[in-house]
Structure 1
Amino acid sequence: MRRQLLAVLTPLLLAVAIAYILNPVVIWLEQRLSRTLAVLLIFLVFFGISFVFLARFLPMFIEEINSLVMRFPRYVKQVQGLLDKFYRATDRLNLPQSILGALEISLDTIEERLLANLARIPEVTFNVARGLFTFFLVLVLSFYLLRDFELVKDSLYYIIPRKSRSRARKILHEVDSSLGKYIRGQLILALVVGALIYLSLLLLGVEFSLIWGIFAGITNTIPYFGPFLGAVPAVLMALLTSPALALKTILVFVIIQQVESNCISPYVLGKTMGLHPLV
């Protein structure tokens, strides 16, 4: 029951999010066109860009997923080999038994989780196919929501008691202005970081760079720990090739993170939220 409800609500929530993000663009275009034409124009552009993106990168993504699945047994053996080397190294160091025990438990836990997650990779191919259907459903829903955005928004105010509506409108307008700009800024940052990571890993020769770039872009939206989480799988994959490549991969993530934090993020959020970059 919960899965069925989630399957129904997910496209609707995504459509609401898309309509919410694109509504300012529609408002700007309404100065020159009717709202319906403005929405149609945005969707033609959006659909065109999405089609080009999917045509270019979706086959690559599926190919990388399939390749990762096929090489899965080999990677498992490599991970186990690295762990064996680590255990032998710790034995030579004559560390206290308590420390060795804690390390062994931690590494076993990491290994179990890593293998469990890798074992679920075949599900991704099916999820991609299902996601395409959801994508087109979301487009249809978001079109109608965006076309009647103000009507839908006004109808929601009727849930609020009459005497509180005026105050609620004012508060929600302020929240909408700040939150909407922040969300749009974060989406732009995720796209930029994901693209930079993908191109950098591609140049380094890290396998499955597109997967890691997309993953890094998504996790970049998570505060504090997001960049670290985004780096972990790419670094592990590079480590299976060579320690030198792993170090280069770490360096790439550190550099991009510093550039994003000190240059890109202040500029993007400054533009979207109307703040000076130094703030």
Structure 2
Amino acid sequence: MPEDRYELEEKLRRKKMRGYIYAAFIIIIFYFLLKNNRSVSLAIDHLLTVVQPIFMGFAMAFLMNPLMVFLEKRLDKPFKFICKNPQTAERVNRVVSSIISLVVLGGVVIYIIATVLPNLINTIVYLANHIDNQAAAVLDYCNYVTKGKYEEALMQAKEYKIGDLMEEGLDFLKQYIDYDQSKMMTTITSSVLSIGKIFINLIIGAFVSIYVLLSKEMFKGQAKKLICGLFKPDYANIILEISRKSGDIFYGFIIGKIIDSIIIGIICYISCLIMKMPYPILVSAIIGVTNIVPVFGPYIGAVPTVLIIFLTEPKKGIYFLIFILILQQIDGNLIGPKILGDSTGISSFWVVFAVVLGGGYFGFWGMLIAVPIVAIIYYIAGKLAKYMVKRRGFPEETSEYISLDHIDIENNSLVPYSPFHDEEKKARRRGIKHKKSNTK
């Protein structure tokens, strides 16, 4: 018995020592990061720039995977008939399906750019050349709507030319901004080089996506093997479960949101044709793309589209604003839930929180991927909370804690709130005060 006790104490001592070492190691790393935050930030930025084509490849593979799986199932029998060896048929099927998926993805992106970009350029050029006439038409419409109530002020506003005001504004800014033509050329050159680098990274990413899809089962197997080797079986099972759930959340949300946005863009385009709205392709593309962003996307897309239509035809701009508000309500309450379902499992508050936080730190892409990331963290926190309360013998359901007042220590049970508890506490306090006064 003494030996067993000694061994147990020795194990506890070693466990505490390991904990102290881990804590010291974490503190040292945290201190190093704080002291060298600028250098660390530059190193991280450089690393992200270097691995950008890899990230692009994984993102492309993520989007291509559903189509590749669909094609693989349809082409399985033809390739098995052509290739006598089953392994060769499977490998050829994977290669062909991956390439077709890449071509489809690239074709869709190129088609959207080729359709939207010329319309966008033509619209900007037209509005820039006719901005004074457009503004005058808007002021005339305002005068008509207000029945001449503010006619004098509106007519005075028509005398100011927007082009002249812009030139005056530029002259004013030149007084405070050091304009250097050589710096401007440097900026333009660096911008062109950046665009060229993105194009090269996209080409590299396309090859990476093919390799990722060809070996996705191998990558999964290697990752699972590493997890099973590094962690105990219980922890390994938890990590594997969280990984599967994370994949379901990402696929359910990202792919579902893209499909939802495509549907909204098509509905918007058809409706614009019916209502004879100007620039239907451009407007529908903007609405569809911005709809990918949860919560704020519809409003982000509504601002430029309504403004473009309003400057062209003010009355139709108001009609389009009403249409967009109705369309987003239909999407938020009918189309979106049907496609997305409960893919994230988080409330509206956490969706808004994720979008604000992701957008603040990482811009548009942060707003897009922040929701599934927060959903994963929420899922892990929920699992951890269930595990901890289960260890203490408390119920796992959240509904049991909504009306919780306190924990009965003697019975180790949850006691719900009741007005009688307040009366009991007051009576107990009065009794304690009475006892103290008698003692004195």
With the shorter chain as reference, the TM-score category is 0.5 to 0.7
1:20 and 1:258, CA in 2 relative to 1: closer, same or farther beyond 3 A?
A: same
Match among 203, 214, 233 for residue 147 of structure 1:
214
1:38 equivalent in structure 2: 94
Q: Does 1:14 align with 2:52?
A: no
Q: Does 1:47 align with 2:103?
A: yes
Residues 166-223 of structure 1: CA distance to partner in whole angstroms, max 9, x if unpaired?
4211211122123322221111111111222234334544444333322222221222
Partner letter of residue 162 of structure 1? Answer: F
- CA drift at 1:235: 0.5
TM-score normalised to structure 2 length: 0.44
1:97-112 correspondence to structure 2 within 5 Å: none
Partner letter of residue 120 of structure 2? Answer: I
Q: Distance in 2 between matches of 1:136 and 1:58?
A: 17
Runs of 5+ in structure 2 lacking a partner?
1-41, 77-88, 151-168, 170-187, 346-440
Q: Distance in 1 between matches of 2:62 and 2:108?
A: 23
Give SS of 1:16's match: helix
1:1-279 correspondence to structure 2 within 5 Å: 8-23=50-65, 26=68, 29=72, 32=76, 34=90, 37-48=93-104, 50-51=106-107, 54=110, 57-74=112-129, 76-77=131-132, 134-156=201-223, 158=226, 161-163=230-232, 164-270=235-341
Runs of 5+ in structure 1 lacking a partner?
93-111, 113-121
1:52 and 1:162, CA in 2 relative to 1: closer, same or farther beyond 3 A?
A: closer
Q: Is the 8 A contact 2:286 2:305 kept in 1?
A: no
- CA drift at 1:252: 2.6
- CA drift at 1:5: 5.7
- CA drift at 1:60: 3.2
Q: Is the 8 A contact 1:26 1:39 kept in 2?
A: no
- CA drift at 1:44: 1.2
1:243 and 1:76, CA in 2 relative to 1: closer, same or farther beyond 3 A?
A: closer
Q: Distance in 2 between matches of 1:10 and 1:207?
A: 38
Q: Is the 8 A contact 1:23 1:149 kept in 2?
A: no
- CA drift at 1:14: 2.9
Q: Distance in 2 between matches of 1:134 and 1:214?
A: 25
Partner letter of residue 333 of structure 2? Answer: N
Give SS of 2:335's match: helix
Q: Distance in 1 between matches of 2:239 and 2:133?
A: 58
Q: Is the 8 A contact 2:102 2:206 kept in 1?
A: no
TM-score normalised to structure 1 length: 0.66
Rg larger in 1 or in 2? 2
Q: Is the 8 A contact 1:239 1:245 kept in 2?
A: yes
Q: Is the 8 A contact 1:206 1:234 kept in 2?
A: no
Percent identity over the alignment is: 22
Q: Distance in 1 between matches of 2:130 and 2:242?
A: 53
1:107 equivalent in structure 2: none
Give SS of 1:221's match: coil
Q: Distance in 1 between matches of 2:338 and 2:238?
A: 33
Aligned length: 239
1:20 and 1:57, CA in 2 relative to 1: closer, same or farther beyond 3 A?
A: closer
Give SS of 1:267's match: helix
